[in-house]
Structure 1
Amino acid sequence: MYETHFGLQEAPFALTPNTRYFLRAPSHADALELLLVALQEREGFIKITGEVGTGKTLLCRLLLNNLDGKASTAYIPNPHLSAETLYEAVAEELGVDATRCANTHQVLKALNQRLIELAMAGQPVVLVIDEAQAMPEATIEALRLLTNLETERTKLMQVVLFGQPELDAVLGKQSLRQLRQRITFQYQLNALDRESVSHYLRHRLTQAGYNGGELFVPGALKLITRASGGVPRLVNILAHKAMLAAWGQGSRQVNRPHVLSAIRDTESAKQPGLLARWL
């Protein structure tokens, strides 16, 4: 669309998570480092929380890429499952043919055998669950019971939970206190500050092939930061729409009017009092 106009090889602000566009902003870099260090400890649960659009799924995919060849991973992107279905999904992710099991007991038995085989081969096992706040309470308890599988010296499987802040409320229930006590490492992703938003925009443009001067003027950058609240997904949406507006007017830079147009067209952007101040 506007790629040729701005000298880009591809669209820089697509919403589909792409690890090539990962920016090691302070909060996100710290979260990744915590994940990698925590997994080396080989025990307990790890929990990463963040508001909608703060980059949890991207971080999740980056973690899976980092673990490739170093651990056997089971990835559950949609955990709104019954306990029995969760067991089957984890088993299948680890190469167990659950269709040959007549009941849940047999699934767990086959899964336990598989975990032992991987442990004997020196292969760590990591279960990664995205959108964990969607898990029913009974399924969360089943997950805890699943991690009871262990040898005399080590856990057979580690669990990483990615979720929205609602996950903390779910885990705060008295009935789930046993699992809550097993969370040995946790981190909350923060929104980007103005400097990080600037780096974020420049990084994505560079990754998309841009090699010109500053595309977003300071006033436009400030507006994007304030209207998005530093949430990466909203930054992407506003930057994309602002570039569309600039392209439509034949401008080689994104100015404040272009961003204001994007804000008006984005219901989730922070608008009260913002437009009046800049008009």
Structure 2
Amino acid sequence: MYAQFFGLAQAPFSIAPDPRYLYMSERHREALAHLLYGVRAGGGFVLLTGEIGAGKTTVCRCFLERIPKRCNVAYVFNPKLTVEELLRTVCEEFQVPIEHLGPGQATVKDYVDALNAFLLRMHSVGRNNVLIIDEAQNLSADVLEQLRLLTNLETHERKLLQIILIGQPELRRMLRRPELEQLAQRVIARYHLQALDEKDTVAYVRHRMGVAGLSTPLPFDRGALQRIHRLSRGVPRRINLLCDRALLGAYACGQPRVDARIVERAAREVFDEEDGGLAGGGRWWPRWHRSPALRPLAAALATGLGLAGLGYAAWTLSRPEPTAPTHSPAAAPRTAPPHLAPAASADP
């Protein structure tokens, strides 16, 4: 929608993991180097972790474009599987036929025997085999143990299956468990992908705008770029969401440059948190309550209002119920209160 307005060939901040838009910061180059090293190192496990939205999957897609040609690759992107389901998925990815003798469905032994025969056959013709598992923090302990057993097949020089595990920081904690010690000792390379610093955030925005076709100066002023880094915390996916909405906001206002005010408004729309959205879906409170110097005053006011409310509630509950007046049969009937009395007729 806003691409033509800013002289772009396409929207630059899609959250799809397009390798063309991968900004190779020093951190991303190191992550990619670890993956490539693991493939050439002779088998075992390679571990790539990072926070949500840090760019792990994008690095992996870039890795797939640079992987040596004599490599067979199996890619599993949904690892919430049982042992049997995972083995069947790996066989399907490697296009390994399964032979099952007897009644019923194929067993774990059928899958493992077929994979072992395939790996030996590929090794005999000089081909390597790489299994990539994304979102690996969702793997169960039983599945991780089965993966370890798959790496037992080896020659004198190397293991026949290379396994790359890509996941969130929980994956690192999982591998510290005592029952997974044997697997942890087979990790030959590991890297944790961290968020971008402010300098790299600016370079990241500039890079993506350039890939999208920008030939004019960057349409973000200095204050906007500083706010983008702070509100996104340097996480690439959050940068994409924020910049996309900010450019849309500037386009809607007819402004050729994005300033800090537009970034703030964009953050309120895309982030559900105190500094970047409607916290809990509620209304925005005035900014003075965020000042460290005035927080004690705000807390005292809140406490005072709360105590006043409790006192009023207690006073209301302690009041005696009013009793209706007694009337003799000869007493005149009560009249309705003025606001409920019928209106007087206009006729004389």
Task: Quote the residue 1:84 is aligned against.
Answer: 84
Question: 2:251, 2:29 → 1: CA distance?
Answer: 33
Report the CA distance between 1:98 and its aligned residue. Answer: 3.6
Task: Quote the residue 2:316 is aligned against.
Answer: none
TM-score when normalising by structure 2: 0.76
In the alignment, does 2:246 pair up with 1:245?
A: no
TM-score when normalising by structure 1: 0.94
Work out whether residues 57 and 134 of structure 2, in 8 Å CA contact, stay in contact via their aligned partners in 1: yes
Gaps of 5+ in 2: 277-285, 289-348
Question: 1:99, 1:166 → 2: CA distance?
Answer: 37
Moved more, 66-75 or 228-237: 66-75
Question: 1:41, 1:23 → 2: CA distance?
Answer: 26
User: Do the aligned partners of residues 66 and 276 (structure 1) sit closer, same or farther apart at CA in structure 2, a change above 3 Å counting?
Assistant: farther
Task: Quote the residue 1:121 is aligned against.
Answer: 125
Q: 1 or 2 for the larger relative contact order (CA 8 Å, sep ≥6)?
A: 1
1:54-109 alpha-carbon deviations (Å, 9 max, x no partner): 00111111111211623111111111111111111111111112476732212111
* 1:263 aligned residue (254, 260, 267): 267
User: Do the aligned partners of residues 164 and 270 (structure 1) sit closer, same or farther apart at CA in structure 2, a change above 3 Å counting?
Assistant: farther
Moved more, 37-46 or 251-260: 37-46
Q: Any residues of structure 2 matched to 1:1-279 within 5 Å, and which?
A: 1-67=1-67, 69-98=69-98, 102-268=106-272, 271=275, 276=287
Report the CA distance between 1:117 and its aligned residue. Answer: 1.1
Report the CA distance between 1:276 and its aligned residue. Answer: 4.4
Question: 1:270, 1:12 → 2: CA distance?
Answer: 27
Q: Which one has the bigger helix percentage?
A: 1
User: Do the aligned partners of residues 181 and 24 (structure 1) sit closer, same or farther apart at CA in structure 2, a change above 3 Å counting?
Assistant: same
Work out whether residues 229 and 270 of structure 1, in 8 Å CA contact, stay in contact via their aligned partners in 2: no
Work out whether residues 70 and 124 of structure 1, in 8 Å CA contact, stay in contact via their aligned partners in 2: yes
Report the CA distance between 1:13 and its aligned residue. Answer: 0.3
Report the CA distance between 1:192 and its aligned residue. Answer: 0.5
Aligned length: 276
Question: 2:273, 2:128 → 1: CA distance?
Answer: 42
Moved more, 148-157 or 97-106: 97-106
Work out whether residues 99 and 110 of structure 2, in 8 Å CA contact, stay in contact via their aligned partners in 1: no
Report the CA distance between 1:153 and its aligned residue. Answer: 2.7
Please identify the structure whose Cα radius of gyration is greater: 2
User: Do the aligned partners of residues 244 and 139 (structure 1) sit closer, same or farther apart at CA in structure 2, a change above 3 Å counting?
Assistant: same
1:112-145 alpha-carbon deviations (Å, 9 max, x no partner): 1111111111111111111000001111111101
SS at match of 2:5: helix
Work out whether residues 47 and 187 of structure 1, in 8 Å CA contact, stay in contact via their aligned partners in 2: yes
Paired residue type of 1:72: N
**Identical aligned pairs, as a percentage?**
40
Report the CA distance between 1:191 and its aligned residue. Answer: 0.4
Paired residue type of 2:127: Q
1:189-208 alpha-carbon deviations (Å, 9 max, x no partner): 01011111111111111111
Paired residue type of 1:65: E
